[in-house]
Amino acid sequence: MKHTIVFLDRQSLIADMRVPSFAHDWIDHDQTRPEEVAARIRNASIVISNKVKLSADILAQAPGVKLIAVSATGTDNVDLAYCRGHGIVVSNIRGYAVNTVPEHAFMLMLALRRNLLGWREDVRAGLWEKTEQFCLFTRPVNDLHGSTLGLVGYGSLGHGMQKIAEAFGMRVLVAEHKGAAVTRAGHTPFDRVLAEADVISLHTPLTAETRHMISTREFGLMKPSALLINTARGNLVDEAALAVALTSGRIAGAGFDVLSVEPPRDGNPLLELDRPNFILTPHVAWSSREAMQTLADQLVDNIEAFVAGAPRNVVS
């Protein structure tokens, strides 16, 4: 069988793509708008998507699709129930971001903990030039060493975070699932992690259970000195509640790489926060050149394994 492979958002991946070892036609689209998806995958047997949504009504118009190869770890853009019911295999990418996402998260932590943006503002405002001593004391600086990191999500990224945290001399708490009746060995109850952590970092998928897992109640449990880091999914956090928590001083700061809608088209309360204690980056924590090449290689590995009859990285 000669496969037709359609990559719906090739522009999302800056990497060299290895040519699969089986007979195929490969069609790249830099980007695909929602109204273009059905027509583009109608004759495909293999569809590659990073963030393009593949809903049940779209997939019903493409009966030849046998594999959806997600070029990311998250699969919330795919109707998994439809795929299970119609024999479509869904594979994803795993472990490729084990260095790049933790490094980005720690960049945000360090910048906030040491007040990097605040110092930059003060130097630009000429405050250093006006002082009568060699340094400024206009902003607090705190170490990561000796502080407590709370991890929500303990897959490959959570393990990567723990490794770096321990090198910094941090204490690490791994949160149990929110609302869990039993706490597993090596885990700490969710609410206790929020109450004890100096920095809370999110590394969990977006599901119905995790949507808005951090909102007004949870901010009320955190220390006023706590930082919240989110390099996972925007909708894990109630963004309006976060804006209130930051502007009211309920927490000390936050570093986000994700928003609930990406790219933001109709505004977002976090886009309006012009504060030195909030840093927002445009969903790039995953995107080091090294990580993207690893992703591209694994993507082709997934496709070749499926065609060989031994699917790998299958999402149930």
Residues 123 and 241 in one domain: yes
Percent helix / strand / coil, the chain, rounded to 5? 35, 15, 50
pLDDT single digits (tens) 16-50:
999 999 999 999 999 999 999 999 999 999 999 99
Residues 129 and 166 in one domain: yes
**Cβ distance 303 to 17 under 8 Å?**
no
pLDDT single digits (tens) 229-238:
999 999 999 9
Token code pair at residue 46: 């293999």
Residues 173 and 243 in one domain: yes
The answer to whether residue 56 is domain-embedded is: yes
Domain of 88 in residue numbering reads as 3-96+290-307
Of 36, 262, 272, 290, the catalytic one is 262
- Is 3 labeled as catalytic in the residue annotation? no
Residues 40 and 87 in one domain: yes
Residues 273 and 299 in one domain: no
pLDDT of amino acid 1: 81
The answer to whether residue 36 is domain-embedded is: yes
Output the domain CATH number for residue 48.
3.40.50.720
Residues of the chain with pLDDT under 70: none
The answer to whether residue 313 is domain-embedded is: no
The answer to whether residue 312 is domain-embedded is: no
Of 3, 104, 203, 233, the catalytic one is 233
Residues 263 and 162 in one domain: yes
End-to-end CA distance of the chain: 25
Residues 54 and 25 in one domain: yes
Residues 127 and 204 in one domain: yes
Of 159, 192, 211, 283, the catalytic one is 283
Residues 126 and 10 in one domain: no
- Is 196 labeled as catalytic in the residue annotation? no
- Is 159 labeled as catalytic in the residue annotation? no
pLDDT of amino acid 61: 97
The answer to whether residue 314 is domain-embedded is: no
pLDDT of amino acid 316: 82
**Cβ distance 120 to 136 under 8 Å?**
no
Residues 88 and 114 in one domain: no
Phi, psi (degrees; rounded to nearest 5) at 15: -165, 160
Residues 40 and 155 in one domain: no
**Cβ distance 271 to 243 under 8 Å?**
no
Residues 105 and 228 in one domain: yes
* Structural domain count of the chain: 2
